[in-house]
């Protein structure tokens, strides 16, 4: 759409008075009608004719930004990783008076190793100091054996999560599957795992503090060994229980029950899912249900499906690898212990 001379002149005048900011661009666009992109193009046009000071930077054939502008751009994206390249270009202009196209900023940052990618969210409550102490504990010279650790946690699954998410159909058509809309069937599982795989699974409709304590007393602790065995000179397998900081785990009754059975208790640093191998087990179990649709069908109760998937999705070799990914140092003695639980083919 072509805008009249009066509107263009008025818009340019407002840009000169108010400056090139997103809020001003939107306000002028809503007031006079031209799009934000049109206003930005007019701004660059008057910049080219020297009405606002420095002209647009003309890049050379290698398309490199000035070193000081590139350093400033790097500081901008390290300070605020969610900035658009257009916003970085505007910040460079406001700081140094030079104008770059967005592709010039993007390509220059790519040359020094920066690229755009999906945002990974990190909790503000995460304590890097505690995480470093935990890594030092499981990888340092004075660490106990990895086979001593048992991890426990809860997971929830719904009928919708258990269903396959992709299907086949003719090109240009939807892949329809008949299903009961609004199906709210779901269940939760208190699961424990050692290096060789899943130890126990206790399924409930929903887990609270009392049910977690019940599962701990009846299903998990009977499978563990006492850490204070005076006759043992070697690391005692499955004698240390590791939990996250969920409210159901922090109750005094939970710790007292474990200590009464001779089991040591450790808590992971807050919001450290990557240090807990059982988190990956829950993901593998949900994938197992979808992958073995014919063997673990929706005709069976969801609790049975989830329990079967949890026990079958982790082999001794996978469990050992999950512990390694969580930061543990795996010794030859640990590998030999895990191999005792492998089922011969």
DSSP codes joined into one string, 105-149: HHHHHHHTT----------TT--HHHHHHHHHHHHSTTPPPGGGE
Averaged pLDDT, 149-164: 86
Please report the pLDDT score of residue 62 as a whole number.
43
- The CA distance from 124 to 270, in Å, is 10
Decide: 197 and 204 in contact? Cβ < 8 Å: no
DSSP SS3 for 200: strand
pLDDT band, very low/low/confident/very high, at 335 (cuts 50, 70, 90): confident
CB-CB contact of 189 with 333 (8 Å) = no
At 214, the pLDDT band (50, 70, 90 cuts) reads: very high
E strands, the chain, are: 149-158, 186-194, 197-204, 240-243, 264-267
Q: pLDDT tens digit string along 73-112?
A: 999 999 888 888 888 988 888 888 888 888 888 889 998 8
Supply the pLDDT for residue 49: 55
pLDDT tens readout for residues 253-294? 999 999 998 899 999 998 888 899 999 999 999 888 888 765
pTM above 0.75, yes or no: no
């Amino acid at each position: 759409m072509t805008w009249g001379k009066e509107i263009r002149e008025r818009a340019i005048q407002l840009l000169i008075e108010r400056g090139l900011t997103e809020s001003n661009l939107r306000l002028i666009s809503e007031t006079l009608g031209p799009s934000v992109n049109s206003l930005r193009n007019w701004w660059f046009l008057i910049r080219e004719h020297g009405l606002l000071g420095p002209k647009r930077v003309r890049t050379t054939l290698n398309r490199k930004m000035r070193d000081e502008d590139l350093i400033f751009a790097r500081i901008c994206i390290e300070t605020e990783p969610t900035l658009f390249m257009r916003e970085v270009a505007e910040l460079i202009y406001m700081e140094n008076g030079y104008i770059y196209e967005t592709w010039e900023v993007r390509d220059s940052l790519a040359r020094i190793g920066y690229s755009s990618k999906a945002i990974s969210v990190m909790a503000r409550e995460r304590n890097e100091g505690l995480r470093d102490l935990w890594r030092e504990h499981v990888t340092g010279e004075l660490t106990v054996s990895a086979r001593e650790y048992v991890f426990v946690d809860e997971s929830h699954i719904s009928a919708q999560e258990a269903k396959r998410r992709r299907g086949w159909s003719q090109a240009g058509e939807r892949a329809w599957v008949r299903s009961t809309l609004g199906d709210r069937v779901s269940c939760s599982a208190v699961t424990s795992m050692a290096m060789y795989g899943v130890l126990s699974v206790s399924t409930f409709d929903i887990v609270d503090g009392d049910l977690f304590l019940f599962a701990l007393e009846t299903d998990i602790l009977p499978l563990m060994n006492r850490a204070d065995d005076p006759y043992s000179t070697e690391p005692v397998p499955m004698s240390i229980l590791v939990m996250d900081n969920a409210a159901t785990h922090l109750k005094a009754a939970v710790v007292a029950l474990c200590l009464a059975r001779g089991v040591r208790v450790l808590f992971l640093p807050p919001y450290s899912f990557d240090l807990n191998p059982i988190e990956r087990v829950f993901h593998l179990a949900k994938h197992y249900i979808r992958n073995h649709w014919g063997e673990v069908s929706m005709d069976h109760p969801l609790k049975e499906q989830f329990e079967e998937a949890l026990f079958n999705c982790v082999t001794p070799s996978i469990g050992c690898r999950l512990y390694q990914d969580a930061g543990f140092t795996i010794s030859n003695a640990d590998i030999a212990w895990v191999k005792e639980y492998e089922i011969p083919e």
